[in-house]
Chain A
Amino acid sequence: MRTAFFKIVRLVIVVFIVTFLSFSMLKLQEAATGSTIIDKVAPFGSPAAKAKLRQQLHLNDPFFMQYGRWLGNAASGDFGLKYTGTGDNASIGTRVSKIVGKELPVSIELMIYAQLLALIIALPLGIFTAYKNGSIFDRVTNIVMFAMLAMPAFLAALALQIWAAKNPNAGLPTQYIGVADFPLTPFTRENLTQMLLPTISLAVAQIAVYMRLLRSDMIATLQEDFITTAKAKGIPPRRVLLRHAFRPSSLTLLTVAGLNVGALIGGAIIVEQIFNLPGIGYELVRSILGSQVIETQAIIAIIAVIYVLVNFLVDILYTVLDPRIRHARAIA
């Protein structure tokens, strides 16, 4: 209980640091380049409009106050506006939260699909190749995985796109096609068709990472005495693998799956660009190109918090998977 408390405190601290960094990063850039947010948001605005905007953004407040206000608003879901005016209408815009609210689910969906696909393929392969360590199947799989490991998401995405373009019969869109149902309802036929290629592109490298990790951990676990004990009990191999060997072998995989969320986000940004998928990565690039500083800030902060949260969950999952960690922590 005490550990859980400490963990949450730690989480909160990390979230503070992460948001602070993402908030101040753009401020720093402002200081470095000399151009203010105002200049970027409303390059053609009249002094009055700029002053109004400045007022609206509380830019006259001290830095920490600005951060505090921003954080407070963000916590209640208000990330400010994405300014659409450029002149005297500078202070009008769309709520960032509204944009993000629409786009975030798309990205999360994409990442979850990719993670699921990667695991669904990697787990059985990893377990089986470990069991048949050294067999032809194992060796071939390893070579293929090496190749996949070397393939960045954008390459996979482009290759798939070209393939889809050349094989229209497959019925897979090369680009996102706007539909009324947005964000897409998960697991509908339409949704899956739309998401299939992006998911595969994003999953390719992960499959290889997960599979190789699991395989090597499984091979190590299968050498353990308790596996021999299980065998000597007359337990069938399938059960030995799944019930006895898999769980102790999955800790590294879990860690990496958590850390990999970062890679997934990076990959998602690119894949969304290529497939024109209206996700948060897509929006992030647009906001950067469009100098939408406030939106950029918001998106970066959101991504960072998601990353931290996922790894927090991974940390908790450890204790579920391995009772030794659970008890060691209970003592500490």
Chain B
Amino acid sequence: MAGSGTAHLRPAGESVLRIENLLVEFPVGRSGLKVNAVTNVSIDVLPGETLGLVGESGCGKSTMGKAVMQLVHATSGSVLFEGKELTTLSGGDLREVRPKLQMIFQDPISSLNPRRRVRDIVREGLDIWKIGDKAERARRVDDVLETVGIDPAVAGPKRPHEFSGGQCQRISIARAVATNPKLIICDEPVSALDVSVQAQILNLLEDMKRQYGLTLIFIAHDLAVVKNVSDKVAVMYLGKLCEFADPDTLYAEPAHPYTAALLSAIPEPDPEAQRSERAGVGGEIPSPLSPPSGCRFRTRCPAATDICASDEPMMREVRPAHFVACHHPLGDITITAPAANTASAAPVPGTDATVTPPAPWAAPEVTPAAPPVLTPEPTASQTPPSFGADLPSAVPPPMPPAFAPSPPPVAAAPMPPAFAPDPAPPVDSWLTPAPAPAPEPADVPLPPVVDWTPEPPKPSVAHAPEAPIAPAPVVDPSPPPPVFEAPAPTVFEVAAPPSAPDGAPPASEVTDSEGSEFPPPAPPAAEPPTAQSLDTLLPSRSKGGTINPKR
């Protein structure tokens, strides 16, 4: 992701708020280092629109909100609010704009002054900006309190701590709405609330928006919540904008691998749902102190290529009103909403090869011990991300080598090309960077497992080897730093090889929903389309496991 550019902005005259190339940096101590909280983000909001800003912690979404409010200083870039440039406004001029810009915070209780009465809190804005006379202000306060569902007569004289979180959030909304603002920035307004209360507040926000003709920026990490309230959704990652689109489009057909990963990571409250989340993205967010070059998501991206490290992708339109900053956007092939989309998890042959993460964990010393060498059990996070499967085959076959080259610490085992030569075991690099470091002879036994160690009811060959992958172009890649964090593939199954089911069905059938409640830990998100019997695959799998370390 990690894109700059302004292609997605609507015509300047139409928007209430238009942020262009916003850059916010925070110095870290005396080190001279800077946290790149927001880097060259451009975004705009039309009147009456709700813009959802999503991303994980550290993506800069909250900083964006604060920068709009001028609560943090923008290093560069512009924030145009109703045509007025806020970043250069002086204190006095800024004060005039303030009543039109309001903010609602995450922690409803601590964001209200504990010493003041509810009525005073709500009236404060009116007092400060001298809106109306005393009687009018009092009337206004009662009005807004009533609209948010708080009885002004009862609640007015009370103080915030006498209310629950949900009620405090209602009071916060009343406070924000009181000055008749144009734009309200909601910074994680429901993430501190229980689900049942969360629904109340979300509904309330929708009502208030309609009633007062508000424009909202809704910042949250919960994609489902954002989808529910937004007219436009912007996905951020590590201070950059990834994708910008209508929610229904974005959620149904994410074009950015990060968006796809986020979506697939959401646990859906539906046991029948295909376990798309198993396919989440590996690793964690890199430090904003030294973000990766080029596309900032490339270190975790299954589709990353050389260009991602060298060139920063710009926002571009992949379909009407759907913008993405990615060199290799997903899409074009039929993709449905991840929740519903069980069938489309079918892998596109070849794409898996693209996802080779560097394998910092491939070092042989890493091998933990395990019960006598059996079939290596693929750990979950090694599974191919489902969105990997969503990759259109049209996408330039992304380069395994890009990653692979980062040589495994094992001196003797140059693994990059190792993939190609060893076609039998999957080169599905998500599964195992290399054919999996084999269990070292058990000199470092795992801590005592339960003494009776029954056979875990676990399919051990969860991921059948792939069909040989399209030969990966051997490129000399500048390896991206192995920021990748992946679980050590070193956990081995205690179970005897399970009786192989009769013949591996084609991958397209992965959708069977009637399996057990215990889906295998590492289901192959991608099964080879080739019908290769499991029986034949099994041995090669375990062989791959044992042989590898000696290489």
Residues of A in contact with B (beta carbons under 8 Å apart): 328, 331-332
CB distance from B447 to the nearest CB of A (A): 13
Question: Given the complex, which residues of B lie within 8 Å of A332, measured CB to CB?
Answer: 28-31
Beyond A328-B29, A332-B30, 7 extra complex contacts between A and B, CB < 8 Å: A331-B28, A331-B29, A331-B31, A331-B33, A332-B28, A332-B29, A332-B31
User: Distance (Å) between the CB of A326 and the closest chain B CB?
Assistant: 14
Task: Closest A residue to B29 by CB, please name it.
Answer: A332
What's the nearest-Cβ distance from chain B to residue A327, in Å?
Answer: 12
Bound Cα distance A328, B31 (Å)? 11
Residue of B at shortest CB range from A328?
B29
Instruction: Note all chain A residues with C-beta closer than 8 A to B29.
Output: 328, 331-332
Instruction: Offer 9 A-B interface pairs, CB within 8 angstroms, sorted by A.
Output: A328-B29, A331-B28, A331-B29, A331-B31, A331-B33, A332-B28, A332-B29, A332-B30, A332-B31
Q: Which residue from chain B places its CB closest to the CB of A332 in the assembled complex?
A: B29
Contact residues in A for B30 (Cβ distance below 8 Å):
332
Least CB distance, A316 to chain B, in whole angstroms: 19
| CB-defined contacts of A328 to chain B, threshold 8 Å | 29
In angstroms, how far is the closest chain A Cβ from the Cβ of B127?
Answer: 38
CA distance A331 to B30 in the complex (A): 8
A226 vs B29: C-alpha distance in the bound complex, in angstroms? 28
By a CB distance below 8 angstroms, the chain B residues around A331 are 28-29, 31, 33
Residues of chain A within 8 A of B33, CB atoms compared: 331
Q: Nearest CB to that of A3 among chain B residues?
A: B30
Number of interface residues of B (CB under 8 A): 5
CB distance from A331 to the nearest CB of B (A): 6
Proximity bits, B138-171, A CB within 8 Å = 1, else 0: 0000000000000000000000000000000000
Bound Cα distance from A234 to B384, whole angstroms: 39
Q: How far is the CB of B69 from chain A (nearest CB, A)?
A: 28
Across chains A and B, the number of contacting residue pairs, with CB separation under 8 Å, is: 9
Query: In the bound complex, what is the Cα–Cα distance between A331 and B31 (angstroms)?
Result: 6
A18 to chain B, nearest CB (A): 25
In the complex, chain B residues 7-51 whose Cβ is within 8 Å of any chain A Cβ: 28-31, 33
- In the complex, A332→B32 CA distance in Å? 9
Which residues 430-485 of B sit at the A interface, judged by CB distance below 8 A? none
Contact residues in A for B28 (Cβ distance below 8 Å): 331-332
CA A331 to CA B289, docked complex, whole Å: 11
Provide the bound-state CA to CA distance between A328 and B28, in Å.
Answer: 10
Roughly how many angstroms separate A328 CA and B33 CA in the complex, as a whole number?
13
How many Å from the CB of B12 to the closest CB on chain A?
A: 41
Please list the 9 inter-chain residue pairs (A to B) with the smallest Cβ-Cβ separation, ordered nearest first: A332-B29, A332-B30, A331-B31, A332-B31, A331-B29, A331-B28, A332-B28, A331-B33, A328-B29
Cβ distance B458 to chain A, nearest Cβ, rounded Å: 27
CA distance A194 to B30 in the complex (A): 51
Give 1 or 0 for each of B50-77: 1 = CB within 8 Å of chain A CB.
0000000000000000000000000000
Tell me, in angstroms, the Cα distance from A331 to B28 when the chains sit together.
Answer: 8
CB of B274 to closest CB in A, whole Å: 35
Q: Shortest distance in angstroms between A251's beta carbon and chain B's nearest beta carbon?
A: 20
B28: nearest chain-A partner, CB-CB: A331
- Nearest CB of chain B from residue A272's CB, rounded to whole Å: 43
A332 to B30, CA, bound (A): 5
Q: Which of B352-367 contact A (CB under 8 A)?
A: none
Q: Roughly how many angstroms separate A122 CA and B30 CA in the complex, as a whole number?
A: 38
Q: Tell me the smallest distance from the CB of B290 to a CB of chain A, in Å.
A: 12
Closest approach, in angstroms, between the C-beta of B471 and any C-beta of chain A? Answer: 45
A332 to B31, CA, bound (A): 5
CB distance from B33 to the nearest CB of A (A): 8
For residue A264, give the distance in angstroms from its CB to the closest CB of chain B. 34
With both beta carbons as reference points, the residue of chain A lying nearest to B289 in the complex is identified as A331
**Chain A nearest CB, measured from B209 CB (Å):** 39
Residues on A with beta carbons closer than 8 Å to the beta carbon of B31: 331-332
> In the assembled complex, how far is the CB of residue B25 from the closest CB belonging to chain A, in whole angstroms?
16
Within 8 A of A (CB), among B332-355: none
Chain B residue nearest to A6 in the complex (CB): B30
B30 nearest in chain A by CB position: A332
Q: Please, how many angstroms separate the alpha-carbon atoms of A145 and B551 in the complex? A: 69
Q: Whole-angstrom distance between the alpha carbons of A325 and B388 in the complex?
A: 42
Bound-state Cα–Cα, A331 to B29, Å: 7
Q: In this complex, what residue of B is CB-closest to A329?
A: B29
Q: How far is the CA of A332 from the CA of B27 in the complex (A)?
A: 10
From residue B317, how far is it (CB to closest CB) to chain A in Å? 41
Interchain CA distance A332-B29 in the complex, whole Å: 5
C-alpha spacing A195/B490, complex, angstroms:
64
B15 to chain A, nearest CB (A): 40
Interchain nearest-CB distance for A324 vs B (Å): 14
* Shortest distance between the CB of A171 and any CB in chain B (Å): 58
Q: CA of A332 to CA of B33 in the docked complex: distance in angstroms?
A: 9
A16–B87 alpha-carbon span in the complex (Å):
45
Query: How far does the alpha carbon of A1 sit from the alpha carbon of B417 in the complex, in Å?
Result: 43
Query: In the complex, which residue of chain B has the Cβ closest to the Cβ of A330?
Result: B31
Q: Which of B28, B29, B33 has most chain A Cβ within 10 Å?
A: B29
**Shortest Cβ gap from B43 to chain A (Å):** 31
Nearest-Cβ distance from residue B109 to partner chain A, whole angstroms:
20
A7 to chain B, nearest CB (A): 13
Chain A: which residue is nearest B33 at the CB level? A331
* A157 CA / B29 CA spacing, docked (Å): 48
Shortest beta-carbon distance from B340 to chain A in Å: 39
Q: How far is the CB of A21 from chain B (nearest CB, A)?
A: 28
* Distance in angstroms between the alpha carbons of A253 and B31 in the assembled complex: 30
- Docked Cα-Cα span, A331 to B287, in Å, equals 13
Q: What's the least CB distance linking B344 to chain A, in Å? A: 42
B362-393 to A contact mask, C-beta < 8 Å, 1/0: 00000000000000000000000000000000
Q: Complex formed: what's the CA distance from A332 to B289 in Å?
A: 13
Interface positions of B from 273 to 299, Cβ below 8 Å from A: none
Q: Could you tell me the distance between the alpha carbons of A110 and B518 in the complex, rounded to whole angstroms?
A: 70
B31 to chain A, nearest CB (A): 6
Closest approach, in angstroms, between the C-beta of A234 and any C-beta of chain B? 14
CB distance from A296 to the nearest CB of B (A): 40
Instruction: Give the distance in Å from the alpha carbon of A331 to the alpha carbon of B34 in the complex.
Output: 12
Measured CB to CB, the closest approach of chain B to A120, in angstroms, equals 38
**Distance to closest chain A CB from B67 (angstroms):** 24
In angstroms, how far is the closest chain B Cβ from the Cβ of A189? 53
Whole-angstrom CA separation of A171 from B28 in the bound complex = 62
Shortest C-beta distance, A152 to chain B (Å), equals 38
